[in-house]
Amino acid sequence: MIELRKVEEADYPAYATLVTDERVMRYITEHPLTETEAKRRFASIIEQQRHDRLGSYLVYQDATWIGIGHVTRDTRQPFEAELGYMLLPEQWGHGYGSLLASRLLELATEHELTVVTATIDPNHLASRKILTNLGFHSTYVGPIDGLPGEILEKRLGESS
């Protein structure tokens, strides 16, 4: 069973480990973040969490840190949120992506959200498979911020 712990300011080094890794960021931004970009994004995560019970979480399997996941509420649509995750490359292929996405959906349900979206690179077949297996369906394929993108959506309360 995976465990989640809300990200805190002291967790920046863990976040930076992921977002500065070329392999992790290949399907997210197509390149690792610079330290300046990483610090700016992390500060944004911390600020967002000050205003919501949801947010970003360090993910552990048997006390071993394996990545970060998030459920971020849409500020314009409070019953909608985006789900995302990043795992350490050495943790890929062990089923943790599916476990984590499922756990994040549970959090969304516990917080009475009605719609959860996920934005992926359409070429990232592993993430696409994880999400479609959980009942997400594609609502858009095309450029997002100048990068290849696909938005998948799940309405909570519908069967997987």
Whichever domain contains 70, its CATH number is 3.40.630.30
Nearest to 42 by CA among 75, 14, 80: 14
pLDDT of residue 22 exceeding 70: yes
Angle between the 12-19 and 35-49 helix axes, to the nearest 10 degrees? 130
Neighbours of 121 (CB within 10 A): 18
Mean pLDDT computed over 133-155: 96
pLDDT for the residue numbered 1? 82
High-pLDDT (> 90) share of the chain, %: 89
Please state the separation of Cα 57 from the chain's center in Å: 9
pLDDT for the residue numbered 123? 92
Evaluate whether residue 160 is within a structural domain: no
CB burial of residue 14 (10 Å; 0-12, 13-18, 19+): middle
DSSP output for 44-60: HHHHHHTT-S-EEEEEE
pLDDT of residue 158 exceeding 70: no
* Domain of residue 49, residue span: 2-155
DSSP secondary structure letter of residue 93? T
Evaluate whether residue 15 is within a structural domain: yes
Evaluate whether residue 35 is within a structural domain: yes
Evaluate whether residue 6 is within a structural domain: yes
The per-residue pLDDT for range 71-95, each reduced to its tens digit, is 999 888 889 999 999 999 999 999 9
What is the phi/psi pair of residue 108, to 5°?
A: -60, -40
Nearest to 145 by CA among 34, 28, 9: 28
High-pLDDT (> 70) share of the chain, %: 98
Evaluate whether residue 132 is within a structural domain: yes
The per-residue pLDDT for range 23-54, each reduced to its tens digit, is 999 999 999 999 999 999 999 999 988 888 89
Q: 80, 111 in Cβ contact below 8 A? A: no
pLDDT of residue 157 exceeding 80: no
pLDDT category of residue 159 using cuts at 50, 70 and 90: low
Domain count, the chain: 1
Nearest to 68 by CA among 113, 46, 100, 25: 100
